[in-house]
């Protein structure tokens, strides 16, 4: 059995701020079916260590970027986890990346430490004797892990880095090069230098043996300036080493037939979905909604198209639709959706924040889920919608384009449509898509057929796991 060390800044069920955690938590079980033993390494943020069973110290450092550190091995819900305990870096108030809206000023050191420890373990530094064949890094937070392997002269494990969102690049001043234990000779245009600064994501992209991102369409989009965000040249140069692999959904957690937070239902018996819809209206204090009840479960940012939604709510509600929103983010966008709810209290409900149980209730009770993102590397939200028969309305970009078949005359005639898709991503485009949604909902035969197709969509990890396993095999032979 091959061995992989997956290193990331977050992982379900230990710590989560977004979809990255879901993916990192689901991948070990998925690739185990393909013959790969994957362990996950994450920082020991406050409260995380107590969740780990059978803790055992397997690595120590007297000075890991400013203080002592150790790595503890243990298990949680079937995952084998390596926790990097470094109180001087991770034991603090606020979020894991920021506090009161500002990034922690030592984030470069905090995540360089995670990368350094992962590279040391990958080179055989753990006292338990487990040495991986592959080090798999995720996003900017662990982009230095492949760099530390490459620049340390390691002949050991090969490396893979996955781009979950190229918009976050781990930019730090060039003056930190030495402090981050990086060789000055590599600070070149083809190396670590990034517009006069250092980018930990770029470091991973130029040093990893293979690069993946989370959908085939996003892999192509990253080659273009409007999506590559300054790294398109690097990715063009490494196009032969770049693969787009869709994320999957953990079907043991996201299952309308077994979800403990909802009234269960299935493709063959949809009665429970109607009950969940009624409960969702009550939960948000809404009146009857004759048209489609749309949901938004998202970070409230312009990337996610929340400004477009805020601008289209009134017309949608006036035409009979309803909307419930769960999320937080840009204060101006939070205020915009709250204002819409105040204008239309019988049709629009908003909760600022995040509640995992409520999100499940929303997917079970909604008729449609809105995901009008300006760019979306993969997206899990639309996949949850497919799984729960809550039809996705999506922008035709990234993984949204790869997972949702938009309703057109051709796709409806062929019996293939699973949602609504629109382009370009602007207010006019979304308004047209919402009108299309209203028309489809009014045709109950067509709508119900789309629900059944959506729920039959394969959003599992089976296919993606095979693709990852093939990459691991190609590197280890």
Residues annotated within a binding site: 16
Residue listed under structure tokens 């929303």: 362
Residue 406 phi/psi, 5-degree rounding, is: -65, 145
**Chain mean position to CA 427:** 25
Task: Name the helix (H) or strand (E) containing 243.
Answer: strand 242-244
First to last CA, the chain: 13
Distance separating alpha carbons of residues 318 and 292, to the nearest angstrom: 12
- In Å, how far are 120, 129, 145, 440 from 41, measured between CA atoms? 12, 16, 12, 46
Distance separating alpha carbons of residues 16 and 143, to the nearest angstrom: 19
Can you spell out the DSSP letters for 41-102? EEE--TTTGGG-EEEEEEEEES-SSSS-EEEEEEEETTEEEEEEE-HHHH--SS-SSEETTE
Distance separating alpha carbons of residues 114 and 84, to the nearest angstrom: 7
Task: Name the helix (H) or strand (E) containing 23.
Answer: helix 19-32
Residue 331 phi/psi, 5-degree rounding, is: -55, -35
Residue listed under structure tokens 């409230």: 300
Coil, helix or strand at residue 106: coil
- In Å, how far are 96, 249, 445 from 270, measured between CA atoms? 40, 21, 14
161-200 residues labelled b (16+ CB within 10 A) or e (exposed): bbbbbbebbbbbeeeebeebbbeeebeeeebbbbeebbbb
Coil, helix or strand at residue 187: coil
Distance separating alpha carbons of residues 166 and 32, to the nearest angstrom: 28
Binding site residue list for ADP-alpha-D-glucose: 16
377: left (phi over 0), alpha (psi -120 to 50) or beta: alpha
Q: How many helices (H) and strands (E) does the chain have?
A: 18, 20
- In Å, how far are 140, 201, 234, 347, 440 from 223, measured between CA atoms? 18, 16, 9, 42, 36
As to burial, measured by CB atoms within 10 angstroms (0-12 exposed, 13-18 middle, 19+ buried), residue 396 is middle
HSE-up (13 A, CA, CB side) for residue 334? 11
């Amino acid at each position: 059995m091959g061995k992989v060390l997956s290193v990331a800044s977050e992982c379900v069920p230990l710590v989560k701020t977004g979809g990255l955690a879901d993916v990192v938590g689901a991948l070990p079980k998925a690739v185990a079916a393909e013959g790969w033993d994957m362990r996950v390494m994450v920082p020991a943020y406050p409260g995380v260590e107590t969740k780990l069973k059978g803790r055992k110290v397997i690595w120590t450092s007297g000075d890991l970027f400013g203080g002592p550190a150790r790595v503890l091995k243990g298990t949680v819900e079937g995952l084998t986890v390596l926790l990097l305990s470094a109180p001087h870096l991770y034991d603090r108030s606020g979020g894991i990346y920021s506090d009161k809206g500002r990034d922690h000023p030592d984030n470069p050191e905090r995540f360089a430490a995670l990368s350094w420890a992962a590279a040391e373990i990958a080179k055989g530094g753990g006292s338990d004797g487990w040495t991986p064949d592959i080090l798999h890094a995720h996003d900017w937070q662990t982009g230095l892990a492949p760099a530390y392997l490459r620049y340390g002269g390691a002949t050991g494990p090969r490396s893979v880095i996955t781009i979950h969102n190229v918009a976050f690049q781990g930019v730090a001043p060039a003056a930190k090069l030495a402090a981050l234990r990086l060789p000055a000779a590599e600070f070149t245009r083809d190396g670590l230098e990034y517009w006069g600064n250092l980018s930990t994501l770029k470091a991973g992209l130029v040093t990893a043996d293979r690069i993946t991102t989370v959908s085939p369409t996003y892999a192509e989009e990253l080659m273009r300036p409007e999506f590559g965000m300054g790294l398109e040249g690097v990715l063009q140069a490494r196009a032969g080493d770049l693969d787009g692999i869709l994320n999957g959904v953990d079907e043991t957690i996201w299952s309308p037939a077994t979800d403990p937070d909802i009234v269960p239902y299935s493709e063959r018996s949809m009665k429970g979905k109607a009950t969940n819809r009624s409960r969702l209206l009550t939960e948000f204090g809404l009146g009857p909604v004759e048209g489609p009840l749309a949901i938004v479960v998202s970070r409230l940012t312009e990337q996610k198209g929340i400004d477009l939604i805020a601008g289209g709510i009134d017309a949608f509600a006036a035409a009979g639709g309803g909307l419930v929103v769960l999320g937080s983010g840009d204060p101006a966008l939070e205020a915009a959706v709250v204002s819409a709810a105040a204008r239309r209290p019988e049709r629009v409900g908003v909760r600022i924040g995040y509640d995992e149980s409520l999100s499940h209730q929303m997917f079970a009770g909604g008729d449609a889920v809105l995901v009008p993102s300006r760019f979306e590397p993969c997206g899990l939200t639309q996949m949850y919608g497919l799984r729960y028969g809550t039809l996705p309305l999506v922008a035709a970009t990234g993984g949204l384009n790869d997972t949702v078949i938009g309703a057109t005359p051709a796709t409806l005639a062929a019996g293939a449509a699973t949602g609504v898709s629109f382009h370009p991503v602007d207010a006019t485009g979304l308004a047209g898509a919402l009108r299309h949604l209203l028309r489809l909902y009014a045709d109950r035969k067509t709508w119900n057929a789309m629900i059944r197709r959506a729920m039959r969509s394969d959003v599992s990890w089976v296919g993606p796991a095979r693709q990852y396993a093939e990459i691991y095999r190609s590197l280890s032979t």
